[in-house]
Structure 1
Amino acid sequence: MVPHAYYRYFLWIAIAATFCLLAAEFTSLQRRQQNPAVDSASAGAPVENARLPPASSEILIPRQIWQIFFAPPDVKTLDKGSTYASDWISMAPGYLYTLVGDEDAAAFVDSSFASSRPDVAATFHALKNPGQKSDFLRYLLLWHRGGTYSDMDTRPLVPVEDWLLPPGKRREIGLVVGLEWDSARDGYYDENTRDVQFCQWTIAAAPGHPVLGRMVNHTIAALHDVARQQGRTLDQADFSNFQILNSTGPAAWTDVVFEEIRERDSRVKGLKDLTDLRSPRYFGDLVVLPVESFRAEFSDEWGLNGWRKDRRALVRHYYRGGWRTHD
């Protein structure tokens, strides 16, 4: 009977711990609803958070946070309580925060690319799927302005300044990417996933970084290739989930980033050479972070994975995006 007594004891402890974590999650949600950092009226306007001025040392990546909100047809305003904008602002003192909406996106693209790269502007305006537009826009924002982009359904767990980049190294970093998927840890997923896949729900980059320029060109070519195969113009083309992933999404992003890595380091022959990454790996000014960095789990957020030591979780993604089509 003693083993059963111990079992019941530990079961009650597990239930109590789960209840406490859920209560904390609910409290956090209430806090965001009562103290929203941004609403629909502030889309496109920078919000300065300078309570703790940044160090004076020069860095390549601007202290700027970008987020994108494209409202669905039946939604007129942003549900402030459903976002983590306040978390991003509080975790990035000294940074500017900008939420980019539909009108702001169009104005940015026209002012930045209509004359110098009309193919960029025309491609952006032709896209109908909001997920594809958001994908393309994040690359354009980072390429033209630089900074840190993260999806609306993400929450930073540690200050952005502490993203596992030593102060001396930080001055040399021009692109920060994290693993979304690692076959060594995650096992088989599906045929659309690479052995190692880079996430694009959170990216930090210096303006003009060549990987972003390469990604913009890759995206334009891939999108128009699909349209040509269908005998349609881009604004009339239909994209499957597979085509979205491989034109603007993480599969395309992975291919472009990996192409750059392979050119910089001849020892890297295939994506499997990046599996089971346990610490940041540097390729010139490009740094790749382990899978838990931008893909934190529930246990990471509440400090239950402290045994990882230096393998800190930085961002939690809640997967609330609605980019997929019903194919």
Structure 2
Amino acid sequence: MLTFRKSLLAAALLITFVLYLRSSHPTSSIASPSSTPAGQAHDGAQESYEQYNEKKDTVQQLPLTPPASAPLRDRLRYHFPYDLDAKFPAYIWQTWKYTPASIFFSEHLRDSESSWSELHPGFVHEVIPDDTQGHLIKYLYGAVPDVYEAYASMPLPVLKADFFRYLILLARGGIYSDIDTTALKPASDWLPSELDLATVGAVIGIEADPDRPDWHDWYARRIQFCQWTIQAKPGHPIMRDIVAYITQETLRMKKLGILETHKMDKTVMEYTGPGAWTDAVFRYFNDPEYFNIEPDSELNVTYEDFTRQEGYKKVGDVVVLPITSFSPGVHQMGSKDVGDPMAFVKHHFGGTWKNDPSL
């Protein structure tokens, strides 16, 4: 007969067993891109991708904390898991020498900086000054010390500014935009209302589409994605890849003793800038972990899939916006005026880093 004492003992054993199972299987998860076919088009964009991996979102049980000897990408994946179903965080990140509260904050930047707060009420809008960035990175990446080592070792402010945008988006997500940009429309208007945001993990724009034989004299890539404005959910694979790439390249050059001004074997464009960023995006689009690549094909997606793009293109969990969206009014390469319905962010091309005498 089941007595009260036996019932109590059985309940205690059951609770102990459940707690044991929970302690043996961490609950953190990484979600793979959605099953929406790559190349789903909006507003006139042509459907051009049919090889997207159609596996449903899966929840993968992560192992115990990886050792320091584990590959950097594995450690980043563990500490910054990607959840496609999550909402885009309501953060706006910008960087500058001083905060807007400082008397030294440039007056000519106040209107552009305030445009982001005005169009995004309820968002956390942070302008991170130069002397704070390092402390924030050290805090966010305390479990991945080689990332902070790479950041702290960079010899130029422009390198750190580039690196910071990828680091903050990987760790916290939201929107990063350069301080010399003006928000023309709120982020809620960047994507069509019928698009399920649970299938979108990143929003990027085309910076340049130089359809001319001498394009390499002006740009790093034939199609170049802009990195002055990026929106992403935390842990996105593209952010993980670019952070790993920059970290490894930095530590490589440091070990060789060439991580110094005028000694580095990479230009800013190829090291941390739009060349490196564009390569990371294309690596993701051609990664068999996320996309079905034909056995006899080396590439799934190339620049040809985006040249002369006018509408939205959805590639897996990434929405690519046309050049007008983040580069309106440049009057070249198909860019339309700031009054166009697809114009979302105006970049004023301050280019202060180019005036750095150390370059």
Q: Structure 1 length normalisation: TM-score?
A: 0.71
Which residue of the other structure, out of 122, 127, 134, is the alignment partner of 1:99? 127
Q: CA deviation at 1:187?
A: 7.6
The alignment of Structure 1 onto Structure 2 pairs a total of residues equal to 257
Q: Distance in 1 between matches of 2:345 and 2:266?
A: 26
Deviation, 1:94, is 2.1
Contact 1:226/1:237 (<8 A) preserved: no
Say if 1:262 and 1:268, in contact at 8 Å, map to a contact too.
Answer: yes
1:265/1:99 Cα in 2 relative to 1: closer, same or farther (>3 Å)?
Answer: farther
Contact 1:105 1:137 in 2 (8 A): yes
Moved more, 246-255 or 118-127: 118-127
Q: Greater RCO between the two (CA within 8 Å, min separation 6)?
A: 2
CA contact (8 A) 1:70 1:134 kept: no
1:255 is matched with 279
Q: Counterpart in 1 of 2:76?
A: none
Residue 316 of structure 1: which of 334, 346, 352 is its match? 346
What is the aligned-residue RMSD (CA, Å)? 2.7
**Aligned twin of 1:88:** 116
Of residues 145, 149, 157, the one that matches 1:122 is 149
Corresponding position of 2:269: 245
Identity of aligned residues (%): 31
1:216 to 1:251, Cα distance in 2 relative to 1, 3 A: same
1:280 matched residue in structure 2: 312
| Kept after mapping to 2: 8 A contact 1:132/1:323 | no
CA–CA separation in structure 2 for the residues paired with 1:183 and 1:204: 24
Query: TM-score, with normalisation over the residues of structure 2?
Result: 0.65
Structure number having the greater helix percentage: 1
Contact 1:148 1:202 in 2 (8 A): yes
2-structure distance, mates of 1:191, 1:90: 35
State the match for 2:184 in structure 1.
157
**Cα distance change, pair 278–80 in 1 and its aligned pair in 2 (3 A):** same
Give 1:127 shift. Answer: 1.6
Counterpart of 1:217, as a letter, is: A
Secondary structure of the residue aligned to 2:215 is coil
**2:221 aligned residue (194, 204, 207):** 194
5+ residue gaps, structure 1, are: 1-57
Looking at structure 2, the residues matched to 129 and 122 of structure 1 have their Cα atoms a distance apart, in angstroms, of 14
Which of 207, 219, 238 matches 1:211? 238
Which SS does the other structure have where 1:323 is aligned?
Answer: helix
2: CA distance between counterparts of 1:197 and 1:108? 29
Contact 1:261 1:268 in 2 (8 A): yes
Q: Distance in 2 between matches of 1:273 and 1:105?
A: 36
2-structure distance, mates of 1:239, 1:274: 35
| Conserved? CA contact 2:201–2:317, under 8 Å | yes
Return the offset for 1:81.
3.8
The structure whose Rg is larger is 2
* Aligned-pair CA distance for 1:285: 1.4
Distance change >3 Å, CA 302–CA 253, structure 1 → 2:
closer
Q: Give the distance between the partners of 1:290 and 1:178, measured in 2 at CA.
A: 6
Q: Is the 8 A contact 1:182 1:196 kept in 2?
A: yes
Quickly say closer, same or farther: Cα 1:186–1:81, change in 2 above 3 A. farther
Q: Residues 314 and 186 from structure 1, CA distance in 2 versus in 1: closer, same or farther, beyond 3 angstroms?
A: farther
Structure 1 residue 298: Cα displacement: 6.7
Is the counterpart of residue 178 in structure 1 residue 205 in structure 2? yes
The 3 A distance-change label for structure 1 pair 226 and 233 is: closer
**Counterpart secondary structure, 1:111:** helix
The answer as to whether partners of 1:179 and 1:290 remain within 8 angstroms in 2 is yes
Residue pair 1:60, 1:173 contacting (<8 A) in 2 also = no
